[in-house]
Amino acid sequence: MSRRPLRGEYIKTDTGNKVARKATLVGTQNIMLGGKTVIQPEVMIRGDLARSVPSSSSTVSSSGAAGGAPLNNTAVAIRRYCFLSRGCCLRPPERLYKGAFTYMPLQMGDHVYVGPGTVRVVVGEFAIIKDYVRILDETVVPLNMVIPSFSIVPEGGHEAFELRELYKTVGNNPQPAPS
């Protein structure tokens, strides 16, 4: 009688991303992970909320898709060494564009930390989240805001963080944190 090896709590991708089996990624074809990113259980990423062109029977997009169909673009782009804590939810910002409701792409830089239980990180249109940013619970990033590197949003007296070390502690065979 052969036994199948137990599956781990995380799936590790070719680029080193660690995605919890209990995370929910909707519209994975529109989600891009840059590598060495951790997505913990109960995280939801809404890649299905992709930008679409206005409906029209005669409209054809540059990608050849008929009117109303999603464009061939990325709805959520998360770069290297990001950490999405348990229970957070990311979705692209929405807006009216040429009289039609659509979603704008959500892009996160390198080394971005999204805190546990963050039910909704609202990222306004054309907001830019630079590298090494920590976003805390129930944060609203207003439109056109640029969050500089090494920032904590909202501002507060939180300790420094090193996401490369945090990455090593997550997964099926975690490495101990250095003392």
Instruction: Give the tens place of pLDDT for each residue, 89-139.
Output: 888 888 787 888 888 888 888 888 888 877 557 676 777 888 888 887 777
**How many residues appear in the chain?**
179
The DSSP output letter for 61 is: -
Q: Is there a contact between 13 and 38 (Cβ–Cβ < 8 Å)?
A: no
pTM > 0.75: yes or no: no
Instruction: Give the tens place of pLDDT for each residue, 14-58.
Output: 999 999 999 999 999 999 999 999 999 999 999 998 876 554 544
**53, two tokens:** 């062109």
Instruction: Give the tens place of pLDDT for each residue, 57-75.
Output: 444 444 444 445 445 578 8
Cα 68 → chain centroid = 24
Q: Is there a contact between 105 and 46 (Cβ–Cβ < 8 Å)?
A: no
In the chain, what percentage of residues exceed pLDDT 90?
Answer: 26
Say what the pLDDT of residue 23 is.
Answer: 96
Is the pLDDT at 178 greater than 70, yes or no? no
Hunting for tokens 């590298």 — which residue is that? 131
Pairing of strands 106-108, 140-141: unpaired
CA 3, 15, 51, 139 dihedral sign is positive
Say what the pLDDT of residue 165 is.
Answer: 78
Q: Is there a contact between 150 and 173 (Cβ–Cβ < 8 Å)?
A: no
Neighbouring CB atoms inside 10 A of 29's CB total 12
**163, two tokens:** 């996401």
For residues 134 and 10, the model is more confident at: 10
Rounded CA-CA distance 16/129 in Å is 22
For residues 166 and 74, the model is more confident at: 74
Is the pLDDT at 158 greater than 50, yes or no? no
For residues 166 and 175, the model is more confident at: 166
What type of residue sits at position 40? Q
Say what the pLDDT of residue 122 is.
Answer: 65
